[in-house]
Amino acid sequence: MKPLTQSVDGQFAELTQEVPVNVSRRRFLLSSAGLAAGALVLGVGIPLRQARAAEQQQLPAGTRVPAFLQITPDNQIYFQSPFVEGGQGIFTAMAQIVGEELDADPASFIVENAPTGADFQVMIAGPGRITGGSMSVRFSYPVMRRLGALARQMLLQAAATEWKVAITELTTEPGKVLHGASNRSLTYGELASKALDLPVPDPDSVSLKDPKDFRWIGKSVERIDVYEKSTGKAQYSIDMKVDGMLHAAVQHAPRLGMTVGDILNLAQVKAMRGVHSVHILEGAGAVAVVAPHWWDAKRAAEAVQVDWQAAKGEEQNNVRHMPADFSSEAFSELLAKRTDKGQDAEAKGDAVKLLDAAAPEALVSATYRTQYVHHAQLEPPSALARFDDNGALELWLPNQAPDMFLADVAKRTGLPANKITINSPILGGFFGRHFLYNTANPYPQAIELARKIGKPVKLIWSREEEFLRDPLRPMAAVRLRAALQDKAPVALEVISSCEGPTEGIYGHNPQKVDETAVEGLAGKSYEIPNVRIAQDYVKNPTMLAYWRSVGNSMNDFVYECFLDEVADKAGVDPYEMRKQLLKDNPRLSHLLDVVVQSAGGWKRGPFTAEDGSKRARGIAMASPFGTEAASIAEVSIENGTVRVHHVWEAIDPGSIVNPAIIEAQVNSAVALGLSQVLMEEVVYKNGKPLARNYDMYPILRPYEMAKVHVSIVESGAKMGGIGEPGLPSVPPAVVNAVSQLLGRRIRSMPLSRESLQG
């Protein structure tokens, strides 16, 4: 889920203006906890221009302590996270990083998503503030450490003033300031109200800890959000309520681009139980029903009979018109038959010349295919919109980039940013679903309904509507050629016929290859002297989106499976070929050794397991989002179905914050990787998706999950991501194992489409 930075720079440039912080929810939180306004310490929630700590200076983002922290008299620390929690553990990671330099136990933190505003655009690279692309920790790590150090310095200064001693005489231990000479101490809670009146120190004046002195960073700190989630107290977007709220449900046109001609049974629908009103949403190609209760709205929306009109005119605002005869199978065939040479994404040496001259016995060629997939997150899309008497708009909606959504809402409504409040509840999963996708988010519909009705409206898309409007990971057909010499590849050409997700969302630039279309193909570390990687752009009829690990999720499958084919043609074991091609790369060579050692050694098979089943193993590697990964999968075939027994994965993110979160994220990524390679696929016939719920779109079930063995390698390299890198090496490891077991090469996903007889 990684929007290409250069593709969205213009959007983020619009978000650099500071806007007042909305504090209504914060005040409610504090008052409900029994805290008076005077108990607030580091001033969270007040507009920053009013905080003495900010004074007149223009401090860099991530240094204005009052925007992030407040400490209560009982030493409870409230922290506003720039990054959205969606099950990946970012709240805990932020508490560890800030708490480390603040010298405060992460267990004392209460964390919630921060409001919009320039102060929370803390990423040192990339698009300012976004939760996705495995960027959150690695692009904010030094900034958030410095934030904690600045807060600690303010508390030390407050104590020095209180005791009338030099600040150099003071130290801290978790949650308190100590004066050793007089054996005095004050808790952070006791000092906080005085620290509020101090200016934020010069960011360059504070020193960060030596990593050898870390108390919490690098340790498996328990998740701080477990209690609320396990007791049902966590609040997601669909849980939000405001006074006077009505509910809404929608029925979308069966094909994108169609419009409402007439509602054939309008009188009957209006007479159904609980129906408040029925509305045509022209821009969305949908009919909405509003009612006091969502179930009544849903039943009525499903009962609406619409005379849907075919799309007319040209596409506008990148809203695609789905053809009535579109077939995903036919589109896959079209891609696979392409012969266009494409546009270079990577070129070194003279690959094409060598390949064209290669003898047949030294040439390997193949075409691989990847499928459309849904996000299929369990949390249904929703949005709550409320206008106040002055025309200001407040929204509650799941999102991965609050400031991007603020800019979009301002553009759609014509309201100035300071009259729009975006509330970002925790997410019920990411997977790339909660970005700005035209036609795929319910908040424009909620805003329109709230304006028409004059009351707050909470809109929830049913599962069927979500499956109809969910934008998809792209489909691709990839043509590969390799030339062999001395049992090693000397030339490689890869041409992917596809549309990348970034250009699918923001528009195609004919002068440039979409990096997200070729990631996982381009920039590989294998030492092959002559390489050409290209994209052959072919526009999809479907709306496209980012999906977990983006292009890597499909392209590493293609590349790593073909590499096994090359090894087999050369008569070299696939593991040994990878070792040879990485002999000058100590980091990846070591990672490969680690995964093999964790699996008890390399054993390709087929072999007979202790339970009598015939099994094989496959191996694959990936280098996504600044992290390196290697996987081995052990499989068998039972009653014509692939059974993945074990997945061993070694992952090297350079440096780590929380090993327990890394292990959990790898397990999660393995589950999704297995799901897409074994069974997930969006199938279109006659312009419509066949699946409108999980009955026709199966996802991996608990009993189908492999046993996962995670090895974490901390090489000390530049910090990489964690949420997405665990996925891309899993599908090729599985398919390489299955191909070895069958004795023939499989070149497409999912495996459920294959006849799995040896």
pLDDT digits (tens, 9 = 90+) for 707-727: 999 999 999 999 999 999 999
Token look-up 């070729």 returns 518
Q: Please, what's the b/e burial string for 479-506 (b: 16 or more CB within 10 A of its CB; e: otherwise)?
A: bbbbbbeeebbbbbbbbbbbbbbbbbbb
Q: Is the pLDDT of residue 42 over 50?
A: no
Token look-up 């990148």 returns 318
State the pLDDT at residue 602: 97
Residue 582's pLDDT band (cuts 50, 70, 90):
very high
- 275 phi/psi in degrees, rounded to 5: -70, 125
Q: Is the pLDDT of residue 314 over 90?
A: no
Strand order from edge to edge, sheet including 363-370: 343-348, 530-537, 488-498, 476-485, 363-370
Q: What is the DSSP letter of 619?
A: E
**If we measure between CA atoms, which residue out of 556, 432, 474 comes closest to residue 135?**
432
Q: Is the pLDDT of residue 22 over 50?
A: no
State the pLDDT at residue 547: 96
Rg (CA), the chain: 28
State the pLDDT at residue 119: 86
Q: Is the pLDDT of residue 46 over 70?
A: no
Residues 653, 725: contact at Cβ < 8 Å? yes
Token look-up 């959205």 returns 84
Whether the model pTM is above 0.85: yes
DSSP states of 239-251 as a string? G---TT-EEEEEE
Region 329-373+473-753: CATH code = 3.30.365.10
Tokens representing residue 303 in the block: 């009962």
Residue type, 140: S
Q: How far apart are CA 744 and CA 758, in angstroms?
A: 8
CB under 8 Å to 756, separation ≥6 — which residues?
Answer: 637, 640, 641, 642, 738, 742
Q: Is 291 helix (H, G, I), strand (E, B) or coil?
A: strand
pLDDT digits (tens, 9 = 90+) for 635-681: 999 989 999 999 999 999 999 999 999 999 999 999 999 999 999 99
State the pLDDT at residue 21: 28
- Which class would CATH give 4-230? alpha beta
Residue type, 278: V
Q: How far apart are the first and last CA of the chain?
A: 37
Residue 126's pLDDT band (cuts 50, 70, 90):
low
State the pLDDT at residue 405: 95
Average pLDDT over residues 201-214: 92
Going 330 to 332 to 336 to 338, the CA torsion angle's sign is positive
- 522 phi/psi in degrees, rounded to 5: -90, 155
Lowest mean pLDDT among 40-54, 292-306, 469-483: 40-54
Residues 395, 385: contact at Cβ < 8 Å? yes
State the pLDDT at residue 581: 98
State the pLDDT at residue 519: 97
Strands 476-485 and 488-498: antiparallel
State the pLDDT at residue 65: 83
Q: How far apart are CA 145 and CA 323, in angstroms?
A: 52
Q: How far apart are CA 543 and CA 351, in angstroms?
A: 34
Residue type, 419: K
Q: How many helices (H) and strands (E) does the chain have?
A: 20, 27
Q: At what angle do helices 659-678 and 552-570 cross, to 10 degrees?
A: 70
Instruction: Give the C-alpha distances (Å, rounded to integers) separating 108 from 75, 425, 628.
Output: 7, 21, 33
Q: Where are the beta strands (DSSP E) in 424-508?
A: 457-460, 476-485, 488-498
Q: Is 212 helix (H, G, I), strand (E, B) or coil?
A: helix
Instruction: Give the C-alpha distances (Å, rounded to integers) separating 539 from 334, 489, 499, 542.
Output: 12, 32, 6, 9
Q: How far is CA 269 from the centre of its chain?
A: 39
pLDDT digits (tens, 9 = 90+) for 318-343: 789 999 999 999 999 999 999 999 99
- Please work out, in degrees rounded to the nearest 5, the angle formed at the alpha carbon of residue 371 by the alpha carbons of 644 and 515: 105
Residue 294's pLDDT band (cuts 50, 70, 90):
very high
More confident residue, 617 or 312: 617
Average pLDDT over residues 528-553: 97
- Which class would CATH give 237-313+381-460? alpha beta
Q: How far apart are CA 56 and CA 443, in angstroms?
A: 37
Residues 562, 619: contact at Cβ < 8 Å? no
Domain ranges of the chain: 4-230, 237-313+381-460, 329-373+473-753
Q: What is the DSSP letter of 133?
A: T
More confident residue, 197 or 459: 459
CB under 8 Å to 430, separation ≥6 — which residues?
Answer: 1, 86, 87, 88, 131, 132, 377, 400, 548, 723
Q: How far is CA 106 from the centre of its chain?
A: 24
State the pLDDT at residue 24: 32
pLDDT digits (tens, 9 = 90+) for 356-393: 999 999 999 999 999 999 999 989 999 999 999 999 99
Residues 633, 644: contact at Cβ < 8 Å? yes
When the pLDDT of each residue in the chain is averaged and rounded to a whole number, the result is: 90
Residue 55's pLDDT band (cuts 50, 70, 90):
very low
State the pLDDT at residue 758: 53
Q: Is 465 helix (H, G, I), strand (E, B) or coil?
A: helix
Residue 58's pLDDT band (cuts 50, 70, 90):
low
Residue 131's pLDDT band (cuts 50, 70, 90):
confident
Strands 420-423 and 393-396: parallel
Q: What is the DSSP letter of 474?
A: P
- Note whether 4-230 and 329-373+473-753 share their fold: yes
State the pLDDT at residue 198: 87
Lowest mean pLDDT among 69-78, 84-93, 197-206, 597-606: 197-206
pLDDT digits (tens, 9 = 90+) for 399-443: 999 999 999 999 999 999 999 999 999 999 888 899 999 899 999
